[in-house]
Amino acid sequence: MKQLIAGGIGVLSGVILFGFTLVAAAIYALELSSIGYYTQWGLYGSALLAIGIVPLVISAGLFTAGLVLLFKGADKDWKAKYVLAGDAPNEPTQNKENL
């Protein structure tokens, strides 16, 4: 259960950081239009480079780690609820009548 919560927080944090980074670049692009920008990258690309790639990398890392934790936690909870056929013991069962 702890992995599910941590994974959800990681995914949500990654998405929020990614969104805020893109919004900040859009707002800064308005400022760059008056002072100049790289024509190769365009207005929005120049604003993204000026803000930095680090927040995008951090958000991708948080999102990926959150997904891994979500899948691990869901798999662990699923195995706890439902016994897989491969996890069952291979010993034959004995009836009371045969004893």
* Span 60-99, pLDDT tens digits: 999 999 999 998 888 876 776 765 555 555 566 666 665 5
* Span 19-53, pLDDT tens digits: 999 999 999 998 888 888 888 888 898 999 999 99
> pTM of the full predicted structure?
0.72
Neighbours of 90 (CB within 10 A): 5
Our measurement of the distance from residue 13's CA atom to the centroid of its chain's CA atoms, rounded to an integer in Å, reads: 8
